[in-house]
């Protein structure tokens, strides 16, 4: 593994751990909601909780399109070295979020009963309408917080404040659990109280995250200045696969609920499906955390046009998805009865048996889901939106709903459980077939699954790459850059400057940026372009902006940090961006 692969892998692992931790904590609150509702409020309340799932999916559809769209577009701008464009995208995202939140809250408040009927609280399940209505009313107040939390969760990682996200979500989860228990055992607030408790916990988490924006040295600062409709269109287009996934999930759950309602078991079957959906939300959050990390890093790689980094990203994402998906699959399969039993209320034996059976079917599909989700998010990060949307729609809706409807008359509730496994298998087969069409051959290498829009970056022969992990490697890298420039017919001045800049900047980073025991390294890329050469440094060392340093020390000793002064003075342009705890310096010659 070259060091480029090591830096990408280390960045992925460090990012994915915090994202998964936050996602698990958030989903743990949802799981606890389901457990407390099932055990203390009864099977009907659990069924009502399940019927509200499509509304939750709709909210996450909006938050997903804005969060993922803004994250990828901002990461691309930062990868290309433009903080200003990233800030404009962030500001537009905030404006749209407030508008959407207000509209959704008003619609639910004034048309709540109609929404409940549409969700399935009618006919055999008409007695569930008051419970569904109460829960919707309580949950309504969480909508602004949910949308903003999803977006901050994505963007604050780019801004180097991932720990705050974890703290906020952990606090939210603890408050939700404590509030749910008090509501069920002390306050006796029913489904309305459950919804209000969730809204309060989300709001507290939002306040914690908002404190990030009181800091001085941050990338994302809100401003009405420079707002552009193009930024909105970029966000919506790039986040479209997230919207596709959430909307398709909402429709899928509504259809599956109707299949369950149509069975003899009625609300018991819906409650069993609610258990499965609750566990799916929890386990899927882990895979979604992997996908979000992949999309975020892919956006940065897209801005840099770095093909080798894209390959490293796909490899580490697939490996991680296989490992974690396998662990979760085994755990759920073996503990299905125990997990389902946790949700058991009065006279809930039949519901537990159904839910346990569904969990075992679902567990087998988890490994495939991890791989499929990784490619949906990777292609989204690379802004291959048509590919991402197709994969997402097939996986989330078509390949699950069609088998469920086709087999319902034969297998009853088993049709729903089996549909998840069939769906993931068909999705993976579709990805392989598409890669084969794209390659026009058998896609047996990981590089066959990059799905890049060609031409992607400079031709391979016009790119030089080297990695430095200690000071002894700087001079050899400088010499190799000189040889590369000569082979590309660079003029003597360009050759001299590029070689000199690699030596000066490389030594500066090693001497002042490396931290003991941190596995620090530098990726050096030299790109031959029509208008000249571009030199790029990527490192995972201490943050340091040479352009800002020059501004702050213009009148100081001119011999201090002479290498930095020389580079900034002799290059056509120098751009620095710190994102995801990586330093990215671009020098044009």
Mean pLDDT of 234-253: 81
Which pLDDT value is given to residue 448? 92
Inter-residue contact 538 to 584 (CB < 8 Å): yes
- Higher-pLDDT residue of 217 and 30 is 217
Inter-residue contact 424 to 280 (CB < 8 Å): no
Q: Which range is least confidently modeled, 2-6, 326-330, 348-352, 433-437?
A: 2-6
- Higher-pLDDT residue of 290 and 11 is 290
Q: Is the pLDDT of residue 549 over 70?
A: no
Residues contacting 266, CB < 8 A, separation 6+: 124, 125, 260
> Could you check whether the bond before residue 181 is cis, i.e. omega within 30 degrees of 0?
no
Which pLDDT value is given to residue 562? 63
Confidence of residue 89 (pLDDT cuts 50, 70, 90): very high
Inter-residue contact 64 to 58 (CB < 8 Å): no
The alpha helices in 112-261, defined as continuous H runs, are 112-119, 129-140, 143-158, 162-182, 190-210, 229-238, 240-261
Share of the chain above pLDDT 90, in %: 19
Q: Which range is least confidently modeled, 5-9, 142-146, 204-208, 264-268?
A: 264-268
Phi-psi region of 99 (alpha: psi -120 to 50; beta: other; left: phi over 0): alpha
Question: Beta partners for 527?
Answer: 463, 534
Q: Is the pLDDT of residue 2 over 80?
A: no
Rounded to the nearest 5 percent, the helix, strand and coil shares of the chain are: 75, 5, 20
Q: Is the pLDDT of residue 262 over 70?
A: no
Cα 82 to Cα 431: distance, rounded to the nearest angstrom: 33
Mean pLDDT, the chain, rounded, equals: 83
- Higher-pLDDT residue of 452 and 558 is 452
Q: Is the pLDDT of residue 399 over 60?
A: yes
Inter-residue contact 39 to 343 (CB < 8 Å): yes
**pLDDT tens-digit readout, 296-314:** 888 888 888 888 889 989 9
Which pLDDT value is given to residue 476? 92
Cα 440 to Cα 511: distance, rounded to the nearest angstrom: 48
**pLDDT tens-digit readout, 90-119:** 999 999 999 999 998 998 888 888 888 888
Confidence of residue 331 (pLDDT cuts 50, 70, 90): very high
Which pLDDT value is given to residue 1? 41
Which pLDDT value is given to residue 290? 87
Q: Which two tokens stand for residue 587?
A: 């020098």
Displacement of CA 104 from its chain's centroid (Å): 23
Q: Which of 109-118, 122-131, 407-416, 478-487 has the highest mean pLDDT?
A: 478-487
Q: Is the pLDDT of residue 332 over 90?
A: yes
Inter-residue contact 213 to 222 (CB < 8 Å): yes
Cα 203 to Cα 186: distance, rounded to the nearest angstrom: 22
Share of the chain above pLDDT 70, in %: 91
Which pLDDT value is given to residue 347? 52
Which pLDDT value is given to residue 416? 82
Cα 425 to Cα 450: distance, rounded to the nearest angstrom: 20
Q: Is the pLDDT of residue 578 over 70?
A: yes
- Higher-pLDDT residue of 287 and 394 is 394
Cβ count within 10 A of residue 548: 11
DSSP E strands, 276-384: none
Q: Which of 31-40, 50-59, 215-224 has the highest mean pLDDT?
A: 215-224
Q: Which range is least confidently modeled, 2-6, 277-281, 363-367, 499-503?
A: 2-6
Which pLDDT value is given to residue 372? 92
Q: At which residue do the structure tokens 């159904």 appear?
A: 354
Residues contacting 219, CB < 8 A, separation 6+: 78, 83, 86, 87, 158, 159, 578, 579
Q: Is the pTM of this model over 0.95?
A: no
Question: Which H or E element spans position 463?
Answer: strand 463-468
Q: Which two tokens stand for residue 63?
A: 């938050």
**pLDDT tens-digit readout, 465-506:** 888 888 899 999 999 999 999 998 888 888 988 898 898 888
Q: Is the pLDDT of residue 87 over 70?
A: yes
Q: Is the pLDDT of residue 155 over 60?
A: yes
Which pLDDT value is given to residue 88? 93
Q: Which of 48-57, 153-162, 423-432, 495-504 has the highest mean pLDDT?
A: 423-432
Strands 582-588 and 532-539: antiparallel
Residues contacting 541, CB < 8 A, separation 6+: 509, 513, 514, 515, 518, 520, 522, 583
Q: Is the pLDDT of residue 533 over 60?
A: yes
Inter-residue contact 71 to 296 (CB < 8 Å): yes
Q: Which of 123-127, 171-175, 560-564 has the highest mean pLDDT?
A: 171-175
Confidence of residue 3 (pLDDT cuts 50, 70, 90): very low
Which pLDDT value is given to residue 553? 52
Mean pLDDT of 257-282: 71
Q: Is the pLDDT of residue 133 over 80?
A: yes
CA distances from 428 to 30, 240, 311, 314, 369 (A): 29, 21, 19, 15, 8
Confidence of residue 414 (pLDDT cuts 50, 70, 90): confident
């Amino acid at each position: 593994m070259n060091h480029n692969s090591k830096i990408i892998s280390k960045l992925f692992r460090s990012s994915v751990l915090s994202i998964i931790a936050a996602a698990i904590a958030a989903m743990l609150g949802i799981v606890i909601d389901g457990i407390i509702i099932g055990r203390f409020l009864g099977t009907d309340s659990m069924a009502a909780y399940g019927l509200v799932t499509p509304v939750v999916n709709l909210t996450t559809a909006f938050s997903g399109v804005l969060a993922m769209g803004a994250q990828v577009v901002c990461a691309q701008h930062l990868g290309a070295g433009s903080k200003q464009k990233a800030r404009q995208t962030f500001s537009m995202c905030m404006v749209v979020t407030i508008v959407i939140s207000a509209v959704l809250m008003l619609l639910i408040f004034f048309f709540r009963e109609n929404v409940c009927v549409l969700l399935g609280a009618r006919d055999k399940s008409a007695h569930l309408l008051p419970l569904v209505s109460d829960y919707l009313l309580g949950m309504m107040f969480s909508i602004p917080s949910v949308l903003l939390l999803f977006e901050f969760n994505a963007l604050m990682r780019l801004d180097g404040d991932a720990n705050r996200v974890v703290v906020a979500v952990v606090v939210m989860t603890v408050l939700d659990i404590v509030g749910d228990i008090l509501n069920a055992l002390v306050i006796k607030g029913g489904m309305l109280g459950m919804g209000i408790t969730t809204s309060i916990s989300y709001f507290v988490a939002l306040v914690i995250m908002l404190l990030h924006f009181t800091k001085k040295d941050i990338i994302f600062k809100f401003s009405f200045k420079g707002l552009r409709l193009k930024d909105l269109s970029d966000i919506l287009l790039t986040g479209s696969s997230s919207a596709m996934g959430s909307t398709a999930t909402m429709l899928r759950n509504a259809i599956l609920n109707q299949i369950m309602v149509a069975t003899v078991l009625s609300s018991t079957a819906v409650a069993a499906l609610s258990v499965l959906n609750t566990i799916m939300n929890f386990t899927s959050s882990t895979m979604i955390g992997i996908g979000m990390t992949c999309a975020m890093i892919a956006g940065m790689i897209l801005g840099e046009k770095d093909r080798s980094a894209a390959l490293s990203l796909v490899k580490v994402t697939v490996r991680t998805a296989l490992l974690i998906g396998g662990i979760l699959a085994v755990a759920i399969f073996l503990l299905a009865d125990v997990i389902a039993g946790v949700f058991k209320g009065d006279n809930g034996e039949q519901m537990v048996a159904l839910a346990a059976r569904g969990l075992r079917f679902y567990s087998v599909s988890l490994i495939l889901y991890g791989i499929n989700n990784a490619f949906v998010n990777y292609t989204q990060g690379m802004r291959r939106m048509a590919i991402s949307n197709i994969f997402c729609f097939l996986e989330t809706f078509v390949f699950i709903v069609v088998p469920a409807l086709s087999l319902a008359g034969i297998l009853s509730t088993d049709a729903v459980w089996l549909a998840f496994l069939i769906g993931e298998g068909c999705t993976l087969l579709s990805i392989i077939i598409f890669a084969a069409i794209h390659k026009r051959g058998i896609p047996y290498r990981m590089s066959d699954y990059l799905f890049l829009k060609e031409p992607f970056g400079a031709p391979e022969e016009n790119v030089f790459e080297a990695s430095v992990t200690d000071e002894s490697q700087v001079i050899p890298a400088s010499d190799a850059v000189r040889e590369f420039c000569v082979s590309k017919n660079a003029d003597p001045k360009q050759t001299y400057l590029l070689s000199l800049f690699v030596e000066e900047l490389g030594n500066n980073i090693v001497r002042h940026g490396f931290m003991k025991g941190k596995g620090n390294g530098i990726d050096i890329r030299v790109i031959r372009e029509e208008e000249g050469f571009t030199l790029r440094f990527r490192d995972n060392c201490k943050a340091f902006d040479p352009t800002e340093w020059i501004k702050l020390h213009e009148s100081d000793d001119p011999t201090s940090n002479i290498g930095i002064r020389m580079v900034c003075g002799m290059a056509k342009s120098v751009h620095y961006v710190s994102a995801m705890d990586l330093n990215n310096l671009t020098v044009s010659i």
